[in-house]
Structure 1
Amino acid sequence: MLKINRENLKTSHQLIWFIIDFLMLGLLIINLAFIIFDSIYNFTGVQNLLAEHAPLVKELYHPIHENFLFYDLIFVSIFLTEFVVRWGYAIKAKVYDRWYFYPFIHWYDIIGCIPVGSFRFLRVLRVISIIYRLHQYKVIDVTQTRAFQFFNFYYEAFMEELSDRIVIKVLSGAQDEIRMGSPLFERIQNDILYPRRDMLSDWVSQRVADAAREGYIPNRGALRSYLETRVDNALKQNLELSRLKYLPVVGPTIQETLEEAVGDIVANVIHQILEDLASASNHAFIEDIVNVFLPSPENEEENDVHNEALINLIVEVLEAVKSQVRVKHWRSELT
């Protein structure tokens, strides 16, 4: 049900124009209903049906039908008068830059007033324009009507289906071109990724540093204990090291000292690696890794080695995008 916001209507500075809009909207609906009924009445079969089952209706309406143009011109004269009044107001208020812009912008009002054939049905555009204007000024809210929600749902579903098919078709074409060695791959690698190699290095370096800082440093003690335990167990299972305990006097001492030293060395090496990754000093290391994946375009032989992996990566990324595009969001609204 279309509700009128009376507060916005009263507080608006265009109250008189909104009242005219409502009057014109009512006249347009009556006029369009009149045109539709007369178009149906124009069929001989309909006239015979009325003559048989509702002769009074035929007797009353038939003179109107014969003078349909006259009655329609009454509506047209009202519509044209309203059009001229609005045009004059637009000139006085300087709504548009030029005085003659109004009829060009509101062309549907003029064409709809032509009392010939299908031009009459263009008055529907004027109905739409009035409803849109009232909705724009929040006098009415079209979005809350069942008719709007019904048509908008199927419009959105249609547009989603159409756009999904187009996007999937485009992405599938891009995948095929990349697999066949299209210049698209070289453009992605040489014109997009390679010029941004420093930016990628900075971004990856920062992400690695954040991950190491947040994941390792708070758990440094637990990780050290875990590493020492694992190294100790590994050394005890080593056959050559276990033979040291059979050395007279100093064997068990050497074995224990060696186990502690190896465990401490491994823990310190891992600790230093993660400390470096958590600091800005990891940038050179990350940059070397990025350079391996994105070598200079001049190194053609080196590029050929990595092209296949990069192609597969891009194809899989596009496939993931296609999978997401295939999700039908409009179906979830039906449940």
Structure 2
Amino acid sequence: MLKINRDNLRASHQLTWFVIDFLMLGLLIINLTLIIWDSIYNFVAVQNLLREHLPAAHSAYNPVHENFIFFDMVFVAIFLSEFVLRWGYSVKAKVYDRWYFYPFIHWYDLIGCIPVGSLRFLRVLRIISIVYRLHQYKIIDVTNTRLFQFFYFYYQAFLEELSDRIVLKVLSGVQAEAQRGSPLIERIQDEILYPRREMLSGWLSERVAQAAQQGYVPNRGALRVYLEERVDQALAQNHELSRLKYLPVVGGTIQDTLENAVGDIVANIIHQVLEDLASTSNHAFIEDIVNVFLPEPGQEHTISPNKEALISLVLEIIDAIKDQVQVKRWRENLP
């Protein structure tokens, strides 16, 4: 329901003009309604239908239809008078830089007054301009009306469908260019990723440290037991080591000592590597890996495995973006 904000109406200091706006709005609605009805009445089938079923209505409106141009000219006279009045006010108030700017800016008001069928419907633009002016001054709020929400919803749906198709077309073109060996991949590697090697190294270092801390530190004991069991099984299957037990007196002792030593060495090495990865000291290691995958610009002139991996990464990222673009947000608001 369209409501009038009386407080803003009084505070605008243009009460007279807004009253005129409301009067013109009512007259325009009445006039356009008559124009539409007279266009429908112009069909002989409609006239015959009224003559048969509503003879009183036919008799009452037929003189209006025969002299419709006269009745329309009454509305035109009122509209032109209001147009001239506003033109004079704009000249007096110096709304525009030149006195003759007003009819050019409000051309639809002037042309809509021409009593020709196709031009009469330009008066709809006048209704829109009045409603927009009232909405701009917050006298009315058209966004709360069901009609506005209905058209706005499908307008947004249309824009989303149109923009989605355009974006998907562009992204598909980018994928095709990347697969054909476009310079896009080199630009991504040399101009986007390479200057941000330190940022990538820091981010990867933090992620690796976080993953190691969450996955390794709470399971340190279980991991050590698992490693020792694996080492014991591997050593038990080693034929050279199993021959030590045949040494007189000290064979079994040497074998047990060697198995324990190897198990401790392997477990300690693995634990040290994981502890290094779980700490900030892993930054240099991660940085070296990043430097291998992102060499300095100009060093690679052929399609290397790193370049192929980058192409695959870009294509997968674009596929993920396309999947997200295909999500129809406007359907989520459907009742």
Query: By the TM > 0.5 criterion, same fold?
Result: yes
Q: Which deviations, in whole Å up to 9, do the C-alpha atoms of 1:201-228 show, x marking residues without a partner?
A: 1221121232244444577753543443
Cα distance, 1:173 vs structure 2: 3.3
Q: Is the 8 A contact 1:244 1:255 kept in 2?
A: no
CA 56–8 in structure 1, closer or farther in 2 if over 3 Å, else same: same
Q: What amino acid is aligned across from residue 288 of structure 1 in structure 2?
A: N
**Partner SS, residue 33 of structure 1:** helix
The answer to whether 1:289 aligns with 2:292 is yes
Gaps of 5+ in 1: none
- State the aligned residue count: 327
CA 234–220 in structure 1, closer or farther in 2 if over 3 Å, else same: closer
Q: Is the 8 A contact 1:201 1:286 kept in 2?
A: no
Aligned residue number for residue 264 of structure 2: 260
Q: What amino acid is aligned across from residue 198 of structure 1 in structure 2?
A: Y
Cα distance, 1:113 vs structure 2: 1.0
Structure 1 CA distance, aligned partners of 2:119 and 2:310?
60
Q: Is the 8 A contact 2:211 2:278 kept in 1?
A: no
Q: What amino acid is aligned across from residue 194 of structure 1 in structure 2?
A: D
Cα distance, 1:269 vs structure 2: 3.2
Aligned residue number for residue 144 of structure 1: 144
Q: Which deviations, in whole Å up to 9, do the C-alpha atoms of 1:247-306 show, x marking residues without a partner?
A: 265654554344334422332233234435554x356414413325xx6345323x3544
Aligned residue number for residue 299 of structure 1: 300
Structure 2 matches for 1:67-106, cutoff 5 A? 67-106=67-106
Structure 1 CA distance, aligned partners of 2:333 and 2:192?
42
Cα distance, 1:134 vs structure 2: 1.8
Q: What amino acid is aligned across from residue 189 of structure 1 in structure 2?
A: I
Q: What amino acid is aligned across from residue 6 of structure 2 in structure 1?
A: R
Structure 1 CA distance, aligned partners of 2:263 and 2:196?
42
**Partner SS, residue 96 of structure 2:** coil
Q: Name the stretch that deviates more: 317-326 or 212-221.
A: 212-221
Aligned residue number for residue 211 of structure 1: 207
CA 79–216 in structure 1, closer or farther in 2 if over 3 Å, else same: same
TM-score of the superposition, structure 1-length normalised? 0.83
TM-score of the superposition, structure 2-length normalised? 0.83
CA 297–52 in structure 1, closer or farther in 2 if over 3 Å, else same: same
Structure 1 CA distance, aligned partners of 2:317 and 2:254?
61
Q: Which deviations, in whole Å up to 9, do the C-alpha atoms of 1:100-145 show, x marking residues without a partner?
A: 3322222111111111221111101111111222222222222222
Q: Is the 8 A contact 2:224 2:267 kept in 1?
A: yes
Identity in percent: 51
**Partner SS, residue 23 of structure 2:** helix
**Cα-Cα RMSD:** 3.0
Aligned residue number for residue 196 of structure 2: 200
Structure 2 matches for 1:1-335, cutoff 5 A? 1-179=1-179, 181=180, 185-186=182-183, 188-216=184-212, 221-222=217-218, 224-237=220-233, 238-239=235-236, 240=238, 247=251, 252-253=256-257, 255-276=259-280, 278-279=282-283, 281-282=284-285, 284-291=287-294, 296-297=297-298, 299-301=300-302, 303-335=303-335
Q: Name the stretch that deviates more: 224-233 or 250-259.
A: 250-259
Q: What amino acid is aligned across from residue 301 of structure 2 in structure 1?
A: E
Q: Name the stretch that deviates more: 90-99 or 76-85.
A: 90-99
Cα distance, 1:310 vs structure 2: 3.2
CA 243–92 in structure 1, closer or farther in 2 if over 3 Å, else same: farther
Q: Is the 8 A contact 1:201 1:290 kept in 2?
A: no
CA 285–63 in structure 1, closer or farther in 2 if over 3 Å, else same: same
**Partner SS, residue 203 of structure 2:** helix
Q: What amino acid is aligned across from residue 206 of structure 2 in structure 1?
A: D
Gaps of 5+ in 2: none
Structure 2 CA distance, aligned partners of 1:150 and 1:300?
57
Cα distance, 1:323 vs structure 2: 1.8
Structure 2 CA distance, aligned partners of 1:264 and 1:59?
108
